[in-house]
Amino acid sequence: WGSGGIVDLLIKRGADVNRTNREGFSPLMLAAEAGHEEIVRRLLEEGAELSKTDENGNSALLLAAERGCVAAVHSILDYGADANAMNNEGMNALMIAAQQGHMETFSVLIENGANPIQRDNKGETAFTYLRTSSATGELGNWLSNIPYFRFAS
């Protein structure tokens, strides 16, 4: 999937950008999960559907967030993906990025309207997942860059 030239050739030859493989993954989902932003953008230009999900309800946005693929997350959001769309467990991309400790992805999602207090099927929020992730030490740094959370010293 890393070669944009091959993707262009397949598209020129009539490949269906929304066809899924046996596991239910579309080309957009695979490219997003692998962090191939150039291919993500190309597929989106050709009409790849943002709403396609795997059997667990994970869309390209959620898969990119899980891997911390910031550029892919940006592109998918630029094409109108819902930053608060949830998978079958009720988790949105922000929760998944938090759970994996991807602070840059977390920030991009917040900047694009992801709701940090949305709750999943277990009643957890993105902040709950962030608190228990490997990025716990970065939480204070991240919060200090948001005017609402800045404290006078």
Q: Render pLDDT for 13-38 as a digit per residue (tens, 0 to 9).
A: 888 999 999 888 999 999 999 999 99
Cβ atoms of 110 and 116 within 8 Å: the answer is yes
**Per-residue pLDDT band at 148 (split at 50, 70, 90):** very low
Phi, psi of 63 (to 5 degrees): -70, -40
Q: What mean pLDDT is predicted for residues 117-145?
A: 76
Helices (H), the chain: 4-12, 27-34, 37-45, 60-67, 70-78, 93-100, 103-111, 126-131, 136-144
Q: What mean pLDDT is predicted for residues 135-149?
A: 54
Residue 146, classified by CB atoms within 10 Å of its CB into exposed (0-12), middle (13-18) or buried (19+), is: exposed
Helices (H), 2-47: 4-12, 27-34, 37-45
**Per-residue pLDDT band at 153 (split at 50, 70, 90):** very low
pLDDT at 139: 55
Using CA atoms, how far apart are residues 150 and 153, in angstroms rounded to an integer?
9
Query: Using one digit for the tens of pLDDT, what is the confidence trace for 79-100?
Result: 999 999 999 999 999 999 999 9
Using CA atoms, how far apart are residues 79 and 30, in angstroms rounded to an integer?
17
Q: List the Cα angle 49/51/54 in 5-degree steps.
A: 105
pTM: 0.84
pLDDT at 25: 95
The answer, yes or no, to whether residue 136 has pLDDT greater than 80, is no
Comparing CA positions, the residue from 18, 22, 76 lying closest to residue 10 is 18
| Three-state secondary structure call for residue 127 | helix
**Per-residue pLDDT band at 152 (split at 50, 70, 90):** very low
Q: How many of the other CB atoms lie within 10 Å of CB of 120? A: 18
pLDDT at 54: 94
pLDDT at 125: 94
Query: Using one digit for the tens of pLDDT, what is the confidence trace for 104-130?
Result: 999 999 999 999 999 999 999 998 888
Using CA atoms, how far apart are residues 4 and 91, in angstroms rounded to an integer?
31
Give the N- to C-terminal CA distance of the chain in Å, as an integer: 49
